[in-house]
Amino acid sequence: MWVVGHPCDTCPVKGYRHLHSGKVRDLYQAPDGLLLMVASDRISAYDVVLPTPIPDKGRILTELSLYWFERLEDLVPHHFVSTDVPAEVAGRAVLCRPLEMFPVECVARGYLAGSGLADYLATGSVCGVPLPAGLVEGSVLPEAVFTPATKAAMGEHDENVPYAEVAATVGAAAAADLRGLTLAIYDRAREIALRRGVVVADTKLEFGRSPDGDIVLADEVLTPDSSRFWPADQWEPGRSQPSYDKQFVRDWLTSPESGWDRVGGGNPPPLPDEVVERTRAKYVEAYVRLTGRTFS
DSSP symbols for 163-218: HHHHHHHH-HHHHHHHHHHHHHHHHHHHHHHHHTTEEEEEEEEEEEE-TTS-EEEE
- The pLDDT value recorded for residue 142 is 95
Task: Report the alpha-carbon angle 148-149-150, nearest 5.
Answer: 140
Query: For position 9, what pLDDT does the model report?
Result: 45
Instruction: Please check whether residue 159 is in contact with residue 150, taking contact to mean a CB–CB distance below 8 angstroms.
Output: yes
- Per-residue pLDDT 10s for the chain (296 aa) are 233 334 444 457 999 999 999 999 999 999 999 999 999 999 999 889 999 999 999 999 999 999 999 999 999 999 999 999 999 999 999 999 999 999 999 999 999 999 999 999 999 999 889 999 999 999 999 999 999 998 765 545 678 899 999 999 999 999 999 999 999 999 999 999 999 999 999 999 999 999 999 999 999 999 999 999 999 999 999 999 999 988 889 989 999 999 999 888 788 999 999 999 999 999 999 999 999 999 98
Distance CA 202, CA 186 (A): 8
Distance CA 106, CA 66 (A): 19
User: Closest by alpha carbon to 113, among 228, 24, 242?
Assistant: 228
Q: Give pLDDT, residue 11.
A: 59
pTM score of the predicted model: 0.92
Helix (H, G, I), strand (E, B) or coil at 7: coil
162-to-129, 130, 165, 169 alpha-carbon distances in Å:
8, 12, 5, 11
Q: Which residues contact 220 (CB under 8 A, 6 or more apart)?
A: 25, 39, 61, 64, 65, 226
Cα separation, 126 vs 146, in Å, equals 9
The pLDDT, as a whole number, for residue 292 is 96
Report the candidate in 183, 188, 157 with the shortest Cα–Cα distance to residue 71: 188
Find the radius of gyration of the CA atoms of the chain: 19
Q: Which pLDDT value is given to residue 76?
A: 98
Q: Which residue(s) pair with 96 in the sheet?
A: 35, 80
Burial of 143-153, coded b for 16+ CB within 10 Å and e otherwise, reads ebbbbbbbeee
Distance CA 57, CA 52 (A): 12
Residue type, 61: L
Please count the CA atoms within 13 angstroms of the CA of 2 that sit on its side-chain side: 13
Which amino acid, one-letter code, is at 167?
A: A
Domain annotation for the chain: domains and CATH numbers: 17-96 (3.30.200.20), 100-242 (3.30.470.20)
